[in-house]
Amino acid sequence: MITRIAGGRIIDGAEDEGDAKRDLWIEDDRIVAAPTDGRPADRTIDATEHLVMAGAIDIHSHIAGGKVNLGRLLSPADHRENPVERAGAALRSGSGLTTPSTFTTGFRYAAMGYTAVFEPAMVASNARATHLEMADVPIVDKGAYVMLGNDEYLLRRLAAAAEQGEINDYVAWMMQATAAHAVKVVNPGGISAFKFNARGLEIDEPVPHHGVTPRRIVAALARAVHEIGVPHPLHVHCNNLGMPGNVETTLATIAAAEGYPIHLTHVQFHSYGSEGKRGFSSAAHRIAEAVAQNPNVSIDVGQIMFGATMTESGDTQAQFRNRSLADPDTWISMDIECDGGCGLVPMRYRDSNFVNALQWTIGLELFLLVEDPWRVFLTTDHPNGGPFASYPHLVRLLTDRSHREDCLAQIHPAARKASTLAGMTREYTMREIAIMTRAGPARSLGLSERGHLAPGAVADVVAYRPDSDVAAMFRAPAHVFKSGVEVARDGAILAAPSGTTQLVRPAYDRQVERHVRRFFDDHMTIGFDHFPLAAGELADAGLAVAEQQCRPSAGRA
């Protein structure tokens, strides 16, 4: 089956040359070079004047796992007000906008031109359930980052001054056991500290009982992830989320990585100064400066979008602090398996609220101040900053200065005054959008066959019909192909293939299993033999596994 997407403007962030007007050819599930043997296309898609890009990749979106399900539970209004009927015999129904059900998540992402989504906060002990849940997220490829750095085993080994090699083996074992694609650390040490009743944790403050510091945890994990060769660097949610003045913590976290690659996630929530009479200010420029100076650092923004949403986080310490912001006033906190935690707080961001308005400007400042689109990714930390359905609007804010300024005029006047956003003239080009939503995430995640349109790539292709309203254009692309199958047209789902589960399987010395086994035997309520996902479990759940290669290394990036 050969498909020709004819007449579009190809915008491939991974290619050095500028945008080209040419046909794109797909054979089965791959992009191919234009046939030279004169074979005709089996079908031709008229994409005249359309913008043709690779399928978009969301590097950080909470789409599955126990806390996502708790988020759904806590959002009855979202599900009541956003019913989604079955749109075809082969499709499934669902509900929700901020905490959509799984089928709805997959369909909505695909209809927006996204073909891969990564769940960034899988609790290790919840891995099996998370993957079973992701099996019901159709169309898109998905993967999950396992959360480490608050697991008691690792903290105890770090406290016992374990060698880096042992840490590396443990991390690799854990990634295999949980079928993870990357490693995340959330509030390093802080979730464990909260279980010992510590309400905050500074980066050089010892974790209660263990004595190790967040700085040490970040250093050990960043190095481990790099040395075992996981493509995506350690994915870091810093300490002190949401606290005024936390920019210092964020900058210290960059230093803690000691030059190893790290990815700082939802940095908007970590770019706060404490200036001004309200003691809350933007420190976006300092973060942007640090990103420019540290090539080992990438970020995603975690833009907030005004409206009601649900915040879902492994960071129980921060979420417990935020409970007073709950709207409606109901929240959940959970300590999980000597391993992690989760906290749920419904939230309503208001443009009339000074803090929320300033958060909004800080996110946009970060986008506009970080110059290298390869190292800043478009996220709202769905749903924490706002639902992924708001991405089209966010793209418009980045590409359309006059719209941005119209929105800026609506927000709390003191926040508007405090922000430097008004003076920023930058408008993202479509090529930059393609990099930050496709080529960049693909490179960061080691997805060599995705995020670009070169022959050989997986045929995840999106054709956007040009529209002066960029948001409208990105909301419902004219054509979306997933692995060569047209899955969506003008916002409507046509087909629902299941997508793959992306993972990496770093190698490790099996000696580590003996230690971990003893820990499980002595302390845990699940046995060592039953903790890892067994071979075939993902297949039984209907998931097709796609493994990305590791590149182990002993040196720094």
Partner 1 sequence: MSNGAQTQAQDAEGTGETIACPFCGLLCDDLPASGGKVETRDCPIAAAGFARGAAPRRSHMVGGRETDLAAAAAAAGAILAAARAPLFHGLTADLHGVRALLALAERVGGVVDHELSAGFLANVAVARASGWVTATFSEVANRADVILLVGADPVRDFPRFHERLVQNPTPLYRERPPFMAYLGAAGDAPSRDVVPLQATIGEGDLLPALGALAALLRERPVAREDSAIPIAALVDIAARLKAAHYGVIVWDVAALPQGHAELAVELIAAMLRHLNVATRCVGLPLGGSGNALGAVQATLWQTGWPLRVGFGEGAPLHDPWRYDGTRMLAAGEADALVWVAALGTAPPPASSVPVIAIVADDVALPTPAAVEIRVGIPGLDHAGEAIRGDTVVAMNLVAAIPSDRPSVAAAATAILEALRPVA
Partner 2 sequence: MITLALRSRPPGRLSLAGVTPDRLAALDETAIAKLPVRLGNRQTALGDWFDIRIAGAGEDKLVISGAGGDRLDQVGGMMASGELTVEGDVGARAGLAMTGGRLTVSGSAGDAAATAMRDGEIRIGGDVGEALGGALPGERVGMRGGTVVVARNAQSGVGDRMRRGLVVVVGSAGAFCGARLAAGTIVVGGGIGDHPGIAMRRGSIVALGAAPRLAPSFADCGVHDLIAQHLLARRLALLGLGTLASRIGPLRRFMGDQAEAGRGEILVPR
**Among candidates 78, 143, 132, which has minimal Cα distance to 102?**
132
| 553 binding partner (options partner 2, partner 1, none; Cβ < 5 to 8 Å by kind) | none
- Contacts to partner 1 from residues 538-557, by CB under 8 A: 540-541
| 339 binding partner (options partner 2, partner 1, none; Cβ < 5 to 8 Å by kind) | partner 1
Answer yes or no: are the C-beta atoms of 146 and 124 closer than 8 Å. yes
- Contacts to partner 2 from residues 322-341, by CB under 8 A: 328-330
Residue 133 as a binder of partner 1 (CB under 8 A): the answer is yes
Question: Tokens 């750095």 map to which residue?
Answer: 149
Q: Which of 80, 86, 518, 556 binds partner 2 (CB under 8 A)?
A: 80
Smallest separation (angstroms) from partner 1 to the CB of 36: 41
| 77 binding partner (options partner 1, partner 2, none; Cβ < 5 to 8 Å by kind) | partner 2
Smallest separation (angstroms) from partner 1 to the CB of 258: 26
Answer yes or no: are the C-beta atoms of 309 and 383 closer than 8 Å. yes
Tokens matching residue 524: 């845990």
From 76-84, 110-118, 147-155, 471-479, give the range in contact with partner 2 by CB under 8 A: 76-84
If residue 236 lies in a helix (H) or strand (E), which one and from where to where? strand 234-237
**Among candidates 288, 283, 255, 256, which has minimal Cα distance to 269?**
283
Residue 530 as a binder of partner 1 (CB under 8 A): the answer is yes
- Number of residues binding to partner 1, judged by CB under 8 A: 85
**Among candidates 185, 381, 202, 370, which has minimal Cα distance to 290?**
370
CB nearer partner 1, residue 83 or residue 413: 83
Q: How many CB atoms lie within 10 A of CB 180?
A: 31
Smallest separation (angstroms) from partner 1 to the CB of 414: 31
Residue 83 as a binder of partner 2 (CB under 8 A): the answer is no
Smallest separation (angstroms) from partner 2 to the CB of 68: 16
3-state SS class at 491:
coil
CB nearer partner 2, residue 76 or residue 542: 76
**Among candidates 240, 199, 239, 236, which has minimal Cα distance to 220?**
236
Please provide the DSSP assignment of 281-304 as one string: EE-HHHHHHHHHH-TTEEEE----
Residue 1 as a binder of partner 1 (CB under 8 A): the answer is no
Tokens matching residue 502: 């992306």
- Contacts to partner 1 from residues 9-68, by CB under 8 A: 64, 66, 68
Residue 347 as a binder of partner 1 (CB under 8 A): the answer is no
- Contacts to partner 1 from residues 490-529, by CB under 8 A: 505, 507-510, 513-514, 517-518, 521-527, 529
Smallest separation (angstroms) from partner 2 to the CB of 326: 10
| 46 binding partner (options partner 1, partner 2, none; Cβ < 5 to 8 Å by kind) | none
Q: Which of 1, 20, 33, 73 binds partner 2 (CB under 8 A)?
A: 73
Helix ranges restricted to H, 337-479: 354-369, 391-399, 401-408, 413-418, 430-434, 440-445, 470-475
CB nearer partner 1, residue 28 or residue 521: 521
Please provide the DSSP assignment of 36-93 as one string: SS-PPPSEEEE-TT-EEEEPEEESS---SSHHHHHHHHT-HHHHHH-EE---STTS--
Residues in CB range of 76: below 8 A, 6 or more apart: none
- Contacts to partner 2 from residues 189-228, by CB under 8 A: none
Smallest separation (angstroms) from partner 2 to the CB of 69: 14
- Contacts to partner 1 from residues 184-213, by CB under 8 A: 194-197, 209
Q: Which of 12, 27, 339, 365 binds partner 1 (CB under 8 A)?
A: 339
CB nearer partner 2, residue 328 or residue 527: 328
Buried b / exposed e over 132-141, threshold 16 CB at 10 Å, is: bbbbbbbbbb
Question: Tokens 């391993």 map to which residue?
Answer: 339
Angstrom distance (rounded) from CA 537 to CA 132: 9
Which stretches of the chain bind partner 2, using CB under 8 A?
Answer: 73-74, 76-77, 80, 328-330
